[in-house]
Structure 1
Amino acid sequence: LAWENEALLAVNKLSKGEFDIVVPSISILAEPPVTVVNGNVEKKGAAAVEAAEAYLEYLYSPVAQKLAAKHYYRPVFGHFANKEDLKRFPNVTRVTVQDVFGGWQKAQKTHFNDGGVFDAIYLPQ
């Protein structure tokens, strides 16, 4: 189990022919959040705030999305990426935690709290 970009990098660059990727037909859409943390950046001054905000804005630009796909990250906006780079990303139905589990709070309670689904699967019987 790995992030898609790490698996693709391992198979295509680091260990050619040593690993296979098993792609499920369905997966959870994982979108790690990105933000400017004002409390941290403001301590470094106005230039740091400006740089952090510019970087955040850049992440979703056509240039950055093209670069992301080149380096094995599935771009949010695929139409900006090279077609050859997009070919490495298999078609996978991606669902959200909200759609399938009713949101993070419900998923946490049902699956990961003490006595939840994870405990039923993982703990010795």
Structure 2
Amino acid sequence: KGNLIPEDWNQRLPNNASPYYSTTAFLVRKGNPKDIQGWGDLAKDGVDVVFPNPKTSGNGRYTYLAAWMAAEEQFGGDEQKIRDYMTRFLGNVAVFDSGGRSATVTFAEREIGDVLISFESEVNNIRKEYGTGDYEVVVPKTSVLAEFPVSVVDDVVDERGTREVATAYLEHLYDKEIQELLTTFNYRVHHPEVVKATEDQFPPVKLLKVEDYFGSWQNAQDTHFASGGVLDELQAQARRR
């Protein structure tokens, strides 16, 4: 919007200018006592869900949109069934923290909720931080594609004469060495050799693109997360249940 980079910035590097990516997954307690396997389970009675508020957190917006898209896949685009599911799903939210870190504290330290929803990379890192024996990671068979795109800022690199070195740095993110390093932080990557070497680390998942279901991120923002939008409507219905 500030015209600092061209409209086609995401075509200047491979994979939509995203050298690595993730998806949305679940962290459950040891033994997975509520038998949470997919998005549908999060709308069942007696399941308490924790994830950041989509109004204040990009992480939360990914979660909300992933749930909506999974429901759209399940119900063949039947909007009433999707809304019914989303109402039950949102009604199960035990705490709407402002961001991902506070949601982690709520789940892991305050011991609230049956499932924490976050990026796959995050839930694996959280499990390692708080104790691998106390938690399990569940990756649903269908979830959202969460890309992490990069770009040089044209006005800045041209003003400072740093375009060549800045571009070389971004291109280096696609090299095998860095791709391997990224997987140690539980990010998914594109380098074919690294993908093959780490295939046991990352369960197969059908990745859904926000743009394919909502037109664009801006449209999703305006329709679902703006004041008086679909999220507000669904939350009001959830409170009346």
TM-score (norm 1): 0.78
Residue 107 (structure 1) shift:
1.7
Higher RCO structure (Cα 8 Å, ≥6 apart): 2
* Count of aligned positions: 121
For residues 25 and 82 of structure 1, the distance between their equivalents in structure 2, rounded to whole angstroms, comes to 18
Which of 30, 48, 58 is the matching residue for 2:146? 30
Equivalences for 1:1-125 in 2 at 5 Å? Answer: 1-11=117-127, 13-14=128-129, 15-41=131-157, 45-46=160-161, 48-77=162-191, 79-81=192-194, 83-123=196-236, 124-125=239-240
For residues 20 and 53 of structure 1, the distance between their equivalents in structure 2, rounded to whole angstroms, comes to 39
TM-score (norm 2): 0.44
For residues 54 and 109 of structure 1, the distance between their equivalents in structure 2, rounded to whole angstroms, comes to 36
Residue 94 (structure 1) shift:
0.4
Contact 2:144 / 2:208 at 8 angstroms: preserved in 1?
yes
Identity between Structure 1 and Structure 2 (%): 39
Contact 1:65 / 1:80 at 8 angstroms: preserved in 2?
no
Identify the range of structure 1 (15-24 vs 80-89) with the bigger mean alpha-carbon deviation: 80-89
For residues 195 and 150 of structure 2, the distance between their equivalents in structure 1, rounded to whole angstroms, comes to 24
Q: Relative to total residues, which structure has the larger helix share, 1 or 2?
A: 1
Residue 34 (structure 1) shift:
0.7
Residue 22 (structure 1) shift:
2.4
Q: Relative to total residues, which structure has the larger strand share, 1 or 2?
A: 2
Residue 109 (structure 1) shift:
2.4
SS at match of 1:21: strand
Residue 39 (structure 1) shift:
4.2
Alpha-carbon displacement from aligned partner over 1:59-94 (angstroms, at most 9, x marks no partner) = 1122222221233111133x1316453311111110
Residue 28 (structure 1) shift:
1.3
SS at match of 1:56: helix
Identify the range of structure 1 (98-107 vs 32-41) with the bigger mean alpha-carbon deviation: 32-41
From the superposition, tell whether residues 119 and 18 of structure 1 become closer, same or farther in structure 2 (CA, over 3 Å). Answer: same
Q: Which amino acid aligns with 2:121?
A: N
SS at match of 1:24: coil
Q: Which runs of 4+ in 1 moved over 6 A?
A: none
Once superposed, what is the RMSD of the aligned Cα atoms?
Answer: 2.3
